[in-house]
Chains A and B, each alone.
Chain A
Amino acid sequence: MTVAGLKHYAGEVICNMENREQMNIVIVGHVDHGKSTVIGRLLADTGSLPEGKLESVKEYCRKNSRPFEYAFLLDALKDEQAQGITIDTARCFFKTNKRDYIIIDAPGHIEFLKNMVTGASRAEAALLVIDANEGIKENSKRHGHIVSMLGIKQVVVLVNKMDLVDFDRDVFNSITEEFTEFLNKININPINFIPISAFNGDNVAEKSCETPWYDGHTVLMQLDSFANRKEDIQLPFRMPVQDIYKFTEENDHRRIVAGTILSGTIKAGDEVVFLPSKKKSVINSIEGFNVNSAEKAGVGQAIGVTLKTQIYIKSGELMVRADEIQPVLSSRFRVNIFWVGKFPLIKNKDYKLKIGTSRITVKLAEILNIIDAAELNINTYKDQVERHDVAECILETVKPIAFDPISHMELTGRFVIVDNYEISGGGIILESVSDKGSTLHHNIGKSEFFWEKGLVSSNMREDLYGHKAKFVVLTSGNEEYEQSIHKIGKELEFKLFKSNYTTYYLGIASHTSDSSDRDSQIRQIGELAILFADAGHIFITSVFNLDDYEAEKLKLLNQTHEIKIVNIGESPFDSFVPDADINYSDIGGVVDSLCELIKNYNKNGVEELWDRSITRN
């Protein structure tokens, strides 16, 4: 028996089918408190099951000598029927006169917390089920806490299995009182508590005569009373850039910045800023396929825009309007986080942070406290965040990211953390915190102490090689020179080498698919530069579209050696000032200018090379 084709339509004729409202509801609570039964009953009592489904499940139970349960309608997977528990989130489609629902049945077992969160993060309202007989349990609280963290404001508590306590009003009242107190602590004000027996159908679709003392909504009425999220049109415009497209087939010359609008509105002619790069442009057009051309777009739409100026931006940036309140840019921030990873979240390890469409390397800097989600006891002594913990921490990214503080809006502050290919935690940024004590500064200070140094001093190397060590970084913000700067780097190495310089070139290939790969590549090249400079080399690298943070980082890593950051053509920087700007003429011309820049001259203007008479072949 399975639920092949859970396809649900209410039996009655529904008016105004065009533009029906849809709402996602999650149902949560402790294991065995009856979540699936509530949904099964709702489906059955509203005529939402496919024809013959109820009968066939009943027949299956009779044949297998099992008591019939409404939950069997939902627990469609074979493992679940065998074990009698919900393993993963199931979606049921369901209709009332008012609107269409997707009811997400989330598992109550602690091992399946990640599935529960998956279900709940898509919901606009939550039904939290508590067994009247067992009372409030660990996961009643834990789920309440996570629902609160996910930002679900509409919560209704269903006190289920009232038949097992003879519909006793006192039992209901004491659960209501105790649980309200808990929910208030975690900033949830429950809309209502409903006494039900899902198994018998009391107060699910029909008012029960067993609870004359309760005159509130049934579950069904309650669902229709929920308010759908107001579209965040009055909030400032925010759009994470998902991708930049240039499909050249059939002479399509559009360069399209694509993304989905999180909040606000945008129209042609608006000035926009991309963060964190701070590049600016003006919206030229709003693009679409098989739609009438639009001048304006708003929250929820997956759009594309073309810009008036050709600026180089990357996916992952946040596009905002220049005339509205700006997000915060920070690389160190306080967060609330829940952890569902197989391995704990630890310090001094690189993770990948995914926020909006940006992916960036992140480290756990500090644990402020770990909250036992079930009891709300605060434990500040743990030095790692373990599976199923909810914690308040400070995270540090390798570069600043753009977000809004939670007091303004929560949409841009939601993130997940990836550990070893798996999404292992999720959370929300509360606010930016000061950069003091940033681990990059700390680690750089520290790394000097760990090495044994040889007997050859840098002066001895200079004497032998005839020149000082240097780190030369070539970059450009002009897309046309993306490949050229690598060629320039190689030609420069070759020319210096032929003139007896001790030199080495290693460039960062463009188009790394992942920005956290880029972060670690930048870091690696910076560390390699330290070694090569220590060894007396002129170390040359080329990195297309180096940004301010990357440039600062390379400088920071190579404080003890001479570093020259050279920009060719249009600058990729916002406020960073490179050591030199060179106009692009041709590769040979640029290489010549670079050679001039690199050579050391003494006070008399004479090139400081000891013996350049031998040229290598």
Chain B
Amino acid sequence: MNHLDKLEAQSVYILREAYREFKNICMLWSIGKDSTVLLWLARKAFFGHVPMPLVHIDTHYKIPEMIKYRDDLALKWKLTMIYGENSEALAQKQTFPDGKADRITCCQTLKSEALKNTLSGEWNRYTLDHTTSKYVLDGNREKYTGVIVGVRADEEGSRSKERYFSPRDKENDWDVGDQPPEFWNQFKTDFAPGTHIRIHPLLDWTELNIWEYIERENIPITSLYFDQGSGKRYRSLGCYPCTSPVESTSKNVSEIIEELKSGKFANIAERSGRAQDKDDGGGLETLRRGGYM
């Protein structure tokens, strides 16, 4: 087995463990390359099926191509696709682009808050109707007790300390100082009422591993990651007011891999184009303790 085989096998094990242990489980799909690899790994784990809903938090500031790509793939792969949003904050324009919140607050409102209430079922969920290709209000309001997330340990400091199975309390808070032990391949799969578990199957993957795997498996990825002729491409995807493309002429997966291995990005952090990280003192810990992915 090569290194990608080993990473794949470990992620598949974690996904199967999660599916076995949690009745109400969902997978967060940010549309980015990592969670799309995660979705692919689910198809690996479950032999072509994805037996759990995919949940996307729509901030309405996502780059439009992302939403189209999401729905195209959801229809093609017959996914149970759900989205949630903070409709109140959006209606009242309590956002950074509207000038009524700073970046961190905006992230907390449109992402963390929306995520928390979508997972708990307190706010509306919308589900993709495969016959009409339109979203309809989801009747299911059950709380998700297992949430699969595609974060990687190499992304930033607080994520490097994550567990594969990471508990969140009733308030969605993360107690970094007192995390459960994980011995060998035994994870925390028992949880008290009211709490839920975040599951991180991609923790050991690096940005380079992700691209190598995309290349090997030929996974369809949104074209925003590639230079379309402007000399720019996205290295990390988020909301357009806070995410800038990087100068790069990589037009396909193998060019990106080359660029990461020996080119100009070999020593520059992936999230360097994400402005909220800088506003949080260079890391994401404040946001992540409060429920951010």
Which residues of A are interface residues toward B (Cβ below 8 A)? Answer: 1-7, 9, 11, 13-14, 17-22, 47, 49-51, 56, 76-79, 87-93, 100, 102, 114-115, 117-118, 121-122, 231, 242-243, 245, 247, 249-250, 252, 254, 256, 258, 260, 287-290, 300-302, 304, 315, 340, 352, 354, 357, 414-416, 418, 421-423, 426, 513
Interface presence of B268 (CB below 8 A): yes
Interface residues of B (CB under 8 A from A): 1-3, 5-6, 8-10, 12-13, 16-17, 19-21, 23, 43-49, 51, 78, 153-158, 160-161, 163, 176-177, 179-186, 188-192, 203-204, 206-207, 217, 261-262, 266-272, 277, 281-285
**Which single member of A122, A260, A289 contacts B9 (CB below 8 Å)?**
A260
Task: Name 11 A/B residue pairs within 8 A (Cβ), A-sorted.
Answer: A2-B285, A21-B3, A76-B156, A90-B157, A115-B181, A289-B48, A290-B43, A302-B16, A302-B45, A416-B186, A423-B188
Closest 9 CB pairs of A and B: A76-B157, A5-B269, A2-B283, A302-B12, A114-B181, A426-B183, A19-B2, A247-B49, A421-B190
Q: Let me know if A50 and B267 touch, CB within 8 A.
A: yes
A77 touches B157 (CB 8 A): yes
Cα A2 to Cα B269 with chains together (Å): 13
B285 touches A5 (CB 8 A): no
Interchain nearest-CB distance for B182 vs A (Å): 5
* CB of B71 to closest CB in A, whole Å: 20
Q: Which residue of A lies closest to B155 (CB)?
A: A5
Q: How far is the CA of A414 from the CA of B45 in the complex (A)?
A: 24
> Do the beta carbons of A19 and B8 come within 8 Å of each other?
no
Q: Are B283 and A3 neighbours in the complex by a CB distance under 8 Å?
A: yes
Report if A252-B192 is in contact (Cβ < 8 Å); known contacts: A22-B6, A117-B183: no
Cα distance A124–B194 when bound, in Å? 37
Cα distance, A300 to B188, chains bound together (Å): 22
Is there an interface contact between A242 and B157, defined as CB atoms closer than 8 Å? no
**Across-interface contacts of A250 in B (CB, < 8 A):** 78
User: Given A121, A260, A513, which contacts B182 in the complex, CB threshold below 8 Å?
Assistant: A121
A415 contact set on B, CB distance < 8 A: 186
Q: Which residue of A lies closest to B262 (CB)?
A: A13
Q: Is the CB of B161 within 8 A of A77?
A: yes
Specify which chain A residues have a CB less than 8 angstroms from the CB of B19 in the assembled complex: 243
Most buried by B among A50, A250, A254: A50
Report B-chain residues with C-beta under 8 Å of the C-beta of A7.
Answer: 154, 206-207, 267-270
CB pair A51 B267 closer than 8 Å:
yes
Residue of A nearest to B260 (CB): A9
Q: A residues within 8 A CB of B186?
A: 354, 414-416, 423, 426
Instruction: Kindly list chain A residues whose C-beta atoms are within 8 Å of the C-beta of B5.
Output: 300-301
Q: Which residues of B lie under 8 Å from residue A260 when comparing CB positions?
A: 9, 12-13, 185
Q: Which residues of A contact B153 (CB under 8 A)?
A: 91, 93
Contact indicator B47/A287 (Cβ below 8 Å): yes
Contacts of A89 in B (CB 8 A): 161
Chain B residue nearest in CB terms to A14? B261
Inter-chain pairs besides A3-B283, A5-B155, A416-B184, 11 sampled, C-beta below 8 Å: A6-B154, A6-B156, A6-B160, A9-B261, A117-B183, A260-B12, A260-B185, A289-B44, A301-B1, A357-B20, A513-B21
Docked Cα-Cα span, A418 to B163, in Å, equals 17
Taking CB atoms, residues of chain A closer than 8 Å to B16 are 242-243, 258, 302
Chain A nearest CB from B243 CB (Å) reads 15
Most buried by A among B3, B9, B267: B267
A414 contacts which chain B residues (CB < 8 A)?
183-184, 186
Cβ-closest chain B residue relative to A73: B157
A92 to B155, CA, bound (A): 11
Cβ contact within 8 Å between B270 and A5: yes
Contact, CB under 8 Å: B161 / A416: no
A340 contacts B181, C-beta separation under 8 Å: yes
Please give the distance in Å from B258's CB to the nearest CB on chain A. Answer: 10
A247 CA to B47 CA in the complex, in Å? 9
Instruction: Check B269–A88 contact: CB distance below 8 A.
Output: no
Q: Contacts A6-B154, A252-B49, A426-B186 known; A242 to B13 CB distance under 8 Å?
A: yes
Contact flag A3-B157 (CB < 8 Å), given A117-B181, A340-B181? yes
Task: Please indicate the chain A residues that have their CB under 8 angstroms from the CB of B184 in the complex.
Answer: 121-122, 414, 416, 426
Q: Are A100 and B181 in contact (CB-based, < 8 A)? A: no
Among B9, B156, B157, B161, find the residue whose CB has the most chain A CB atoms closer than 10 A: B157
CB within 8 Å for A1 and B177 given contacts A100-B3, A289-B43: no
Bound complex: CA A89 to CA B19 (Å): 26
How close is A407's CB to chain B, nearest CB, in angstroms?
A: 19
The answer to whether B283 and A249 touch across the interface, beta carbons within 8 angstroms, is no
- B188–A5 CB distance below 8 A: no
Complex Cα distance, B163 from A117, in Å, reads 13
The residue that A118 contacts in the complex, of B13, B183, B190, B271, with Cβ under 8 A, is: B183
In contact, B47 and A304 (Cβ under 8 angstroms): yes
Residues of A within 8 A of B261 (CB): 9, 14, 17
A233 to chain B, nearest CB (A): 11
Query: In the complex, A313 Cα to B22 Cα: how many Å?
Result: 20
